[in-house]
Structure formats: C-alpha cells, structure tokens
Amino acid sequence: MNIGIILGISEYKNAANNLPGCHKDAKAIHDIMVKTGKYDDILYINEKLESAIIKERLTEFIADHKKDDISELLLYYTGHGEFFNDEFYFQLSDYDEHKRKQTSLQNEEVDNLIKALSPDLVVKIIDACQSGKSYIKEANGISKYFKKTQERFNRCYFLNSSLNDQSSYQSDIISDFTKSFILSIKNHNSTEIRYKDIIDFISDEFEGNTSQTPFFVIQADYTEKFCSIDKPLKEYLETLKFNIKTKEADKSEATSLLDQIKKKAEGYSGKEEALQLITTLKEKVDKFSLEGDIESIFELDISFHEGYDPIVKENIIGKWLKDNDHEYFAQSKHKRVRKDRYTNPYGSLSFGRVQILGQENNDEYEWIMDGFDLDVEVPYKTIVFNLNSQFPNVDSFTCRVIYLISKREIAFFYFTTNFEEKNWDKKTLNTNIEWFHSAYPITKTDEVVSGLKKIFDMFQNKINNILNETFNEKKKGEE
C-alpha cells in the first residue's frame, strides 16, 4: 500500500512568525494526493496543534501501519524549518527555541519512524522557510546533510525548497516552491508524471534565482512515478487557477512599469538612511542588559570597534563573499605572501590555498585571501558583547558581531566563544569558533533591532545552558 503524511504549520505561538500561505500549501497537496487515488491512507494535519499532539498522531499513524507492506511513503511538510547543530528541525506551532527538541520534529526522529515501516520508496518534500541560524562555514551544509540521511533508505527522493543560508519565499496565497511543484503536474503533457519530471520542472523554474535554490537528493533509478494524471485530477488542477497565477494572468494584472518600480523602491535604503540605522542600532544596543541569574554571575561589557581586530577567522566571511551572489557593499581582501611562509588562514577548517590572482615573475610569492572589508565608511564595524565572570570557577564569554549592508538588506555575522585562562592574570580568546548569520530588510528598523536583540538573547541563553549543564553534572558527581 501507499501512504502519505502531510504537515502544514501556518500558525505559530508568536503571531509575527505566521505563514498564511502554508495552510493553502498543505490543502492543495492533500487534495492532489486524494485525487490521484494512489494513496490508501493519508495523515493530514493542517491546523494549530500543540507539538505533543502532532507527535502523538504521527506515532499512532506509523504504529497503525507497522504490519502493512508499504510500497511508498510520501511526507510533505510546509512551515518554518531550522538547520541547527547539524540537525534539521521541523518547527511546530508552539515552537520555543529554549525547548527546541520538545517543540520541533527532528529529521532524524522522522526518519526513524519511517524506517519502522520499511517502505520500498521514501519521498520527502520539504517547503520550509529557514528561520533559524545558518552556518557560514559551509553554505551548502544542509544539502550534504540530507545526502547523508539518504543512506537510511534503499530508494528515496528528497525535494527541498532552499539551502540553509536562504529563505523559502511565499505569498499569502501559496509558497513559491509548492506552487512550482503543483505547476509541474498541471503543465505536464503526458498521462503519467515521474518524480524526476517534477524535479526537472522545479529546477528550470528556479534557474537563475539567487535568493532561493531548491536542492534534491535522489537515490533511485528515475522510473518512480508520482501519479497518473486522469480527468478528475486535471479538472481539479484547473480549479487552482484562482490560487496559482499564470504568466498571462500576471501580465493582465500588472500595474504600470513606473508603479512597479516605485513599489519595489520602497524596499531600498539611501546612504543617509542606512547610516542612521547603524547609529540607531548603537543606541539600542547600549541599552541591552542581562536577565535572570546570569546577571549576578557576569558583568556585561558592550563595546563598538571601528575595525575587525576583535574577530577571528574573518577569512571565512571573505570566502563566503567570494562564493555567493550578493548585493552587499563588501568584498574579500587578499595579501601577497612568500610560499615558504604560507600558513593556513582557516585554522582547523583548512580550505587550502584560496586564489592566485596573478602570475608573478618571482614564483616565490602568491596572493592569498586575507579577510574582507566594507566598501562604505561606517561609524563602527564590530559589536562585542563580553560577559566577564565574577567567580573564579566560571569562564568569561564573548559574542562578536559584524554586519554587511546593501541598499536592501543588512546581515549580521556572529560567533560566540569563551576565554581560556592561562594564569591568574592572563586569558586568551578561544578561537575554535563557528560563524552564523541572519539577514533583515534594511528599511525595517524594528526588525533589524529585533534581529540583533535575538542574537544577544541567544548568547545569554547559550551561556545559561552551559552553566546549568556544567554545575548540574558536578552536583550529580558530588552526590
């Protein structure tokens, strides 16, 4: 038998995170799956439910089919997603970053439930708006992650809406990725459509779209079919014209060229407005304060720096700028060094020699990447949050933030780490760090300030968790 699981998460505890298009995503996919007549049973969840209830329903559904011979299992998810600490999380309606595992579905957990049924074919379609932190060290990290998960199944197709350093976009009507999935069926000229046909259509649709790049993981022979396209299904797809605009409809509804330009210009910032935002950020950040027990354990020191001296492994950002299409007013820097004095600028990440810019007459020299810099003058470039410990048995910690700006966006790049004590009078920065980043519309001052506050709060929570784990373990050991 063939079974399906559809999870549509459109309403969240924090209403600002709601995704109205996701409700319509899930309904459309559910109706299509029903119309195909292919699926013997479908678990359909498309309402605001507590995570415990969703997990219970999912577990019961799997248990109900443990004795069945499952030919194909298709899982479709639309909602917020997060790639965190080398694990992908499906964020549920009551998502709380302080209770991440309780209020999300881990991909590994989902895979283990699916494995319990031993399906011949596993299909996972994930239209997830990335809302969590993104690793900078490897822009395609989530792609490699899902390639590893394919090893859990004999045959599988994974269709994912975007890389982990991107967002997945939607309107109030439908998500772009799900829209493309539906159009692949609607526009198909044969009576049967393979998963490979759907993948090819989506790939062509997003070709050249640097903001959202779907990726696919395939462990199959391309013969697997999604469905037959019969008259009832065709008729249903035709009714989706209201929800899915064709190019012809877009043209007929298009406003004048001038109006379109004016509307899009609203998302752009001038130089003075951008610099004012940077000034406003400093004023807001100066008011940040510690909360709870952590306030009594540390002294908070906030500082702003004109350069990048406080940060380490800036070459990772330089490489990110080089490897990614972007509009930021920033670029990688390089320096000329003797080959016999070359040292790996990436530390343990070891990307190797980055680039030779030109052939020198003297082969003893070459150019290597040496970080990055902004192409615009700003009042400060680095924000440092130091938590200076007030106790001899607690480390001091730091969070360091830099930003890149464009006419449309500001991106924060940040890392957290501790200070290592060498003796009573000397401590050094632990340089075993990983960069994260998040981006916000530069014209939305409140969102930008809120984004930076989230980084600060994340820093506090992380340190608080470290202390709880450390001293709770010590307490158990003493007992």
**Tokens representing residue 460 in the block:** 């506090």
Q: In this predicted structure, what is the pLDDT of residue 362?
A: 55
- To the nearest 10°, report the CA torsion of 464, 470, 475, 479: 150
Q: What share of the chain is helix, strand, coil (3-state, %, to 5)?
A: 35, 30, 35
Equal CATH topology for 2-254 and 271-313+372-478 = no
Scored b (16 or more CB within 10 A) or e, 275-292 reads: bebbeebeeebeebebee
* Full-model pTM: 0.54
Residues 6+ apart with CB under 8 A from 227: 32, 36, 38, 185, 192, 193, 233
Query: For residues 288 and 453, is the Cβ–Cβ distance under 8 A?
Result: yes
pLDDT < 50 positions in the chain: 131-141, 143, 242-254, 342-343, 345-360, 476
Query: For residues 79 and 132, is the Cβ–Cβ distance under 8 A?
Result: no
Q: CATH number for the 271-313+372-478 domain, one of 3.90.1150, 2.60.120, 3.40.50, 3.30.70?
A: 3.90.1150
Q: In this predicted structure, what is the pLDDT of residue 419?
A: 95
Q: In this predicted structure, what is the pLDDT of residue 353?
A: 37
Q: In this predicted structure, what is the pLDDT of residue 168?
A: 57
Kindly list the domain boundaries of the chain, sorted by start residue: 2-254, 271-313+372-478
Rounded to whole angstroms, how far apart are CA atoms 273 and 267?
12
What is the residue-averaged pLDDT of the chain? 83
Instruction: Give tens-digit pLDDT for 161-215.
Output: 876 555 555 556 788 889 999 999 999 999 999 999 999 999 998 887 666 778 8
Q: In this predicted structure, what is the pLDDT of residue 350?
A: 35
CATH of domain 2-254: 3.40.50.1460
